[in-house]
Structure 1
C-alpha cells in the first residue's frame, strides 16, 4: 500500500471527532454538550448500546441501591466523554485529512516520488505535520494532541470518583460490569488510565464529613466528624481496607474517620493496626453530646447574663459621655446579612400606622444635633420641582418606580429612575426606606447602580438612581436571542458576566450580601454597560420567579442554594451560587432556570443535586465555573475575586485572539 494510503488509513483508524449529543439515554448528563465519537462508530450505534446496557441495569436485582444511582452517569461519561474543545478537535481532524490530500494529491509528482522512495519519508511527513500544527493551532496547546480518546483533551470521569466506585462503593458491580456481554461492549473506564485533571465529569459522589461535629448522639451511627484516632491514640485505618463490603454504608467511603456503621457498637469506632490480631476494633474517644448539654446551657446562660450587664454598662457610660461629645457619627459597615437595597420582596409590608416625618426623614421631635448624625446629609437633596415624572416602570414594596428626568444644580438634565415611597406607608416601611438610603449611600462602583440623590422635603419621598437605557438584563438577553434572529458574541457574554462579577466582588469586599442576584436585577446601559441593582419590581412577568416557602417570605428559590432554602442562611457564598445561575441565564439568553418545573419540584431538584445542564454553545470552561459555584459545600465555592480573575483572563484572551485572527 502506498505511503499516502497508509497514513490516511492510520488517521481513520486511530482518531475520532466531536458531535453534539442528541440522544435520550444520557440526556440528563450530556444535553447540549459535544461528545467524542471513536473511530468505526457512530453516535446512533453508541446510543443503542447504552440503551441495552441501561436495560440490564434497570432489571438487575443484585445491584446495591447506593451503587445503582451512579451506574448510568458512569456509563454515559465512559462511552461518550465530553469534548473540551470540540471546534478545534474537529478542525484538526478534517484539516489533517485536507493536508494529507494536498501533500499526496499528485500536484507535485517529484516530491511524491522522493517521499516514497527512501527511508526518510516518515521524517518528512512528521515535519510537515508539525509545521502545520504550529501554524494553525499555536494558540491552543490542547489541540496539538491527536484527536483520540486516550490523548485528546477530553473531559472524562473524575479519577478519584472512579476509584471509589471500583474499589469501595461498587466493587462487586464494577467487576461484573467489565465481564458482562452487554455492559462490557459499552465500555467501563479503567480508573488507573484516567488522567488526574480537576476539570472532569463528576458523578456526584460526596464524602459525608462535618468538621464542626465534635460529639455524638445516641449510639453515634449519625456521627460525621473527623476524629480518626482510637481511644488508645492509634490511627484509624481506611474502612475499605478491612471492610470489603461497604456498599450499604456510604458514610465509610474514601475515609478513615470514626464511625458506627449499622449501629454495630455502642459508640463510634474504627479499625486499628495491631499485629497481635488480624482485625482489631477500638472505640474512639469522642464525648456524647448529651453529657455536655447541661454544661453548655449553664455556660450559655452565664454568657447571656454577662453580655446583658456589659450592654447596660455601655449604655450608661455612653449617655453620660454624650453630654460633652461633638455630634459626629462614625459610619458603620452593615452586617453581612443585610441586603444592599433592602430586598423588598422579602420584607413584610403590613400597615402598622404612620408617623409624620420632617425634611430629614427623622421622626418629629428629633433635635438638629441628632439630624447632623444622619448619613442622609452626605447625599444631594432635591425637590419635587427638580424632577419630571415620565412613565411607570413597576411597583415595589416601598411604592412605584418611575422613569423621570432630573434637573441638576448646573441646569443640566439627566434621565433617572425614581423610587418613590407610597403614601400612608407603615412605620416599618418608612424605617426600611430610610435604612435603604443609609445602606447604599456609600456604594460607589462602576458596576453598581448608585444613588444620585433624594427628595425628602415633601411627599412622596423619593430616591433617585441613574437610569439604564436598555432595561434589565433578562429582557436584554431575550431581545438579543436567536428567537429574535439575533445573537451575542462569546466576547459579549464574557463582558456581561465579568461586570456582574466585579460588582459582586466590590459588594462582598464591603461585607454586603445581595440575596436576590438574578438577571432581572441587573440593568443594562448603552455600550453594554451592566450594573447590579434591586428595585424589587413586582411585575407579572417575574411572579413565577418567587415562591412562598412554608408561609414565609417570597423567595427566588431557582437562584438559591439548599442552605438558603432550608435554613434561611444568606451569605456571600449563597450569592456565589446565585451568580452561577446568572451565568446560566446569560448563556441561555434569559431562559428561566429549571423551566418546566414547579417551584416545589425545583426545591427537590436542588436538594437532590440535580443541577442545570450546560446551555447550548456555552464553553465547557464557563460551565465548569457554574458547577463550582453550585458546590454543595459553601466553603468550596470560588470567591468573587477568583471568578473575576478567571473571567478577565478569558476576556483578555478573546481580545488577543480576535486581534491576531481578524
Structure 2
C-alpha cells in the first residue's frame, strides 16, 4: 500500500513539472518543505525559479540550482552581504569590479538546463528513502506527508489528462546520479575561459582576496575554474578581448593599437602578457592575448615580451608601421598612378591632335591668307584667357573684355579702396591674416559696421591664389543665412574681403553667455529657430555644391533678432585652437565635428557636413559645451571609430536627438539630406508657434 502511494506521488510530481513548470513552483516548494520536515534535508539539490533581487539582472525568469542544506533566502542574504563588501572595497580595480556581481550570481546560483529532470531526481530520492522509514515510530508524519502529496497530485491530474510515465527523463544524455549535485547535474555554469581570465589575469589579486574573505569565499560557493567543464552553452560574464583584425598600423605612440601582430621586430614570437606582467588589471587590452601593445603609453611604439635563453624579461618593439607613414606611401603610389594616367591621356590626345593638324594642313592648302580670313581679326589674341586671370592681373589693372568680366567672379564683387574702410579693433587671426571689426563708408555716405578679412602683407603666390579662390567661391553666395561678402579691396595692400558684421559674435560664445550657468536660458522655440536657420543655410550651400568642411557653432554668427548666419573667417584656428588637432603633421582638423571617413581618408562631402551639423545641434542643446569634453583628440578619434556617439543633452527633445543620431549614421549615404533636415525643423518650429499661440 505504501509503495503504491509513493509511486502515485512520484508520478504526480513528474506530471507537474513536465506539464506546467512555471505555474506550479509553489507545489515544488511545499513538497520540498514536506520532504525536509520528513527527514530528507541532506538528500539533494533542487531547481527553483529565481525570485530574489540581487541577481535579477542576470537570473530573471531563470531556474537556478539550490544546493543541499541551502535555501533561496539563505543565498540571497549571503549575496547581499558579499556584494555590499565588494561595493565598499577599495582594493578592487574598476576594470574588475564590473564582473564581480555576475560572477557571484552565476557561481552561487548556476542555471538549470533541465529543471524538470532535476526535481524528478529530488523526489525520486525522497521516495526511495521513504521506504526505509520506521513505520511504527513515524506513522503519523508519514501519513500526513503522503496525504498532502497525494492531494496536490490530484489537483494537477484534474488540470491535465493522465499521461504515461516517460523514462527518457532519466536518459543517458544527462547524468542520472543520485542525488543531483552541482557536479552531476546538467547545469549552465560560468564559461571556463572567462573564469580563468578573471582569476589568472584581470582580477588576480581580487580573486585571491575574495576566496579567503569571511563574507564572500567562506560563505558562498565560488567556482573553481579548473573544475568547470568546457561547454559552449555557458553563462557568459561579458568579457571581450579588445582586438581589431583589420588594424595594421598605429597612431601616435601606439597606445590605442588593437591589431593582431604578435611578432617582434627581430621575428621572435610575443609571449602572453599575463605570464610576465602580474598586474594587468589596469590594462584590459592585454587580457588573454600576446599581441603587440603599448600599455600606458610607456614606449614610443607597440612592443611585447619575447623569449630569451637567459630567462630574463626581454622587451622588443614590434614591426608595425605608423599609419601616417603608410598613408603617405599610399598617397605617393596613388599620385604616381594618377600622373601616369594623366600622361597617358595627354599622349593620346597629343597624337590625335597631331594627326588631325596634319589633315587640316592638307585640306587648307588653298585657303585665303590670314589677312583675308572670313572671321576677321580675333580679340582672343590680345587679352588673357578667360578663367586664368590672377590676382596680380587685377591689381595691375589689366584691360578685360565684357565677356571675361561676366565669366570672372572676382569682377562681379564691388571693388573698394582702403579710404572707404576704417579699421577699429582686431577680432583674431585666421589662415590668411588678421580679421578686424571696421566701418565701411558707402557711396551714399551712410556708414555700417563690417568684418574685414585681410591678407597678410608679402603673402606668397600660393596664399594669394588661395585668397583669390575663396573670393571666387563665395562671390555668388546670396542667402539670408549665409554671411555674404560686401566687397573687396584689391588696389593696394593689405588686400581685404569685406563682410557684414554680426553684432552678437559667434554662436558658441552666444550659447555660453545665454546658458543656465549664466543664470539665463533659451526657449525650445529659440533653440529650434537657431537650428533651422543653420540647416537652411547649409541646404543652400549643398544645393550649390559647396562643402563647408568646418561647420561648427564657432563658425556661425549671431545678429540682433536672433538671426544666425553661417561663416568661416578662419578665426577658429586661433581662438578655438583646442577644437583642432594636427594629425600626423598634417593640417589642423576639427576631429570632434568629423565623421570617420573624413578623419581616416580625408574625404569631405555634403554627407560629412551633415555629420558636422548633427554635432552643431548637440552644441546648441548643450549650450556650447565642447563635444566629447574631457577626452583628448586622439581619444575622440578612437571613440568615433568605435561608434561611441555623443549622449542626449538634458534639455534636448527625443525627436531632435533622433535627428542627431541619423546625422551620425556610419554609412554616409543613409544620413538625411539638408533639405529633409530643414523640413523637419521647420515643421517642429511651426508646431511650437501654434502651441504657444493656443496657450496665450
TM-score computed with the length of structure 1 as normaliser = 0.50
Counterpart selection for 2:653 from 603, 615, 619: 619
CA separation in 2, counterparts of 1:611 and 1:546? 19
Corresponding residue for residue 324 of structure 1: 378
**1:147-296 matches, cutoff 5 A:** none
Q: Deviations over 1:381-422 (max 9, x none)?
A: 111111111111111111111111111111111111011111
**1:404-423 matches, cutoff 5 A:** 404-423=438-457
Corresponding residue for residue 357 of structure 1: 392
Corresponding residue for residue 655 of structure 1: 689
CA separation in 2, counterparts of 1:63 and 1:315? 77
Counterpart selection for 1:306 from 339, 345, 349: 345
1:313, distance to aligned residue in structure 2 (A): 7.1
The 1:53/1:394 distance shift into structure 2, 3 A limit, reads closer
Corresponding residue for residue 549 of structure 1: 583
1:582 aligns with 2:605: no
CA separation in 1, counterparts of 2:102 and 2:354? 69
Q: Deviations over 1:200-229 (max 9, x none)?
A: xxxxxxxx9xxxxxxxxxxxxxxxxxxxxx
1:365, distance to aligned residue in structure 2 (A): 6.9
Q: Deviations over 1:132-173 (max 9, x none)?
A: xxxxxxxxxxxxxxxxxxxxxxxxxxxxxxxxxxxxxxx957
1:652, distance to aligned residue in structure 2 (A): 0.7
CA separation in 2, counterparts of 1:402 and 1:638? 37
CA separation in 1, counterparts of 2:103 and 2:399? 73
Counterpart selection for 2:510 from 458, 476, 480: 476
1:374, distance to aligned residue in structure 2 (A): 2.9
Counterpart selection for 2:673 from 613, 635, 639: 639
Question: What secondary structure sits across from 1:406 in the alignment?
Answer: strand
CA separation in 2, counterparts of 1:462 and 1:322? 41
Q: Which is bigger in relative contact order (C-alpha 8 A, separation at least 6)?
A: 1
Q: Deviations over 1:67-110 (max 9, x none)?
A: x9xxxxxxxxxxxxxxxxxxxxxxxxxxxxxxxxxxxxxxxxxx
Q: Deviations over 1:210-259 (max 9, x none)?
A: xxxxxxxxxxxxxxxxxxxxxxxxxxxxxxxxxxxxxxxxxxxxxxxxxx
Counterpart selection for 1:608 from 621, 624, 642: 642
Question: What secondary structure sits across from 2:576 in the alignment?
Answer: helix
1:300, distance to aligned residue in structure 2 (A): 11
The 1:316/1:517 distance shift into structure 2, 3 A limit, reads farther
The 1:325/1:528 distance shift into structure 2, 3 A limit, reads same
Whether the 8 Å contact between 2:387 and 2:408 is mirrored in structure 1 is no
Corresponding residue for residue 62 of structure 1: 191
CA separation in 1, counterparts of 2:477 and 2:425? 27
Corresponding residue for residue 457 of structure 1: 491
1:53, distance to aligned residue in structure 2 (A): 9.0
**1:420-569 matches, cutoff 5 A:** 420-537=454-571, 541-569=575-603
1:305, distance to aligned residue in structure 2 (A): 2.2
1:57, distance to aligned residue in structure 2 (A): 4.5
CA separation in 1, counterparts of 2:506 and 2:606? 23
Whether the 8 Å contact between 1:548 and 1:554 is mirrored in structure 2 is yes
Corresponding residue for residue 153 of structure 1: none
Whether the 8 Å contact between 1:500 and 1:532 is mirrored in structure 2 is yes
Q: Deviations over 1:155-203 (max 9, x none)?
A: xxxxxxxxxxxxxxxx957xx69xx9xx9xxxxxxxxxxxxxxxxxxxx
1:659, distance to aligned residue in structure 2 (A): 0.9
1:570 aligns with 2:609: no
Alignment root-mean-square deviation, CA:
4.2
1:537, distance to aligned residue in structure 2 (A): 1.1
1:304, distance to aligned residue in structure 2 (A): 6.1
CA separation in 2, counterparts of 1:312 and 1:496? 58
CA separation in 2, counterparts of 1:417 and 1:550? 34
1:309, distance to aligned residue in structure 2 (A): 3.4
TM-score computed with the length of structure 2 as normaliser = 0.48
The 1:317/1:631 distance shift into structure 2, 3 A limit, reads farther
Question: What secondary structure sits across from 1:470 in the alignment?
Answer: coil
The 1:473/1:314 distance shift into structure 2, 3 A limit, reads farther
Whether the 8 Å contact between 1:505 and 1:644 is mirrored in structure 2 is yes
1:307, distance to aligned residue in structure 2 (A): 5.5
CA separation in 2, counterparts of 1:384 and 1:562? 44
Corresponding residue for residue 40 of structure 2: none
Corresponding residue for residue 325 of structure 2: none
Corresponding residue for residue 75 of structure 1: none
CA separation in 1, counterparts of 2:376 and 2:623? 57
Whether the 8 Å contact between 1:356 and 1:364 is mirrored in structure 2 is no
Question: What secondary structure sits across from 2:392 in the alignment?
Answer: coil
Q: Deviations over 1:111-132 (max 9, x none)?
A: xxxxxxxxxxxxxxxxxxxxxx
Question: What secondary structure sits across from 1:577 in the alignment?
Answer: helix
User: Who wins on radius of gyration, i.e. which is larger?
Assistant: 2
1:64, distance to aligned residue in structure 2 (A): 9.4
The 1:392/1:313 distance shift into structure 2, 3 A limit, reads farther
